[in-house]
Amino acid sequence: MPILSDKQVEKVCGLGKGEKTCSFLTMSAYGFECAKKTAIEKIIKERREAGTMNAQGNNCSGPPNFAMGED
């Protein structure tokens, strides 16, 4: 998974913005990562639809370009 910069985590992913925080933002031993276009994406989408996640954002297109404006 792509490692995200601190700036991206704050500006694009919305860390700490409650419901607006991106659902696909994950943490690993290497730092914050994006789970879009990975095997985990399907599970996150299912949890979003079921309403079992606090973070509901879908803030960008994901890797490799992370173009903003997905939602």
Q: What is the pLDDT of residues 6-61, one digit of tens each?
A: 999 999 999 999 999 999 999 999 999 999 999 999 999 999 999 999 999 999 99
Quick check: 62 pLDDT over 80?
yes
How many Cβ atoms sit within 10 Å of the Cβ of residue 15?
A: 17
How many CA within 13 A on the CB side of residue 70?
A: 19
Q: How confident is the model at residue 70 (pLDDT cuts 50, 70, 90)?
A: low
Residues with Cβ within 8 Å of 35's Cβ and at least 6 positions away in sequence, in order, are 1, 24, 25, 26, 41, 44
- Given this model, what pLDDT does residue 54 score? 95
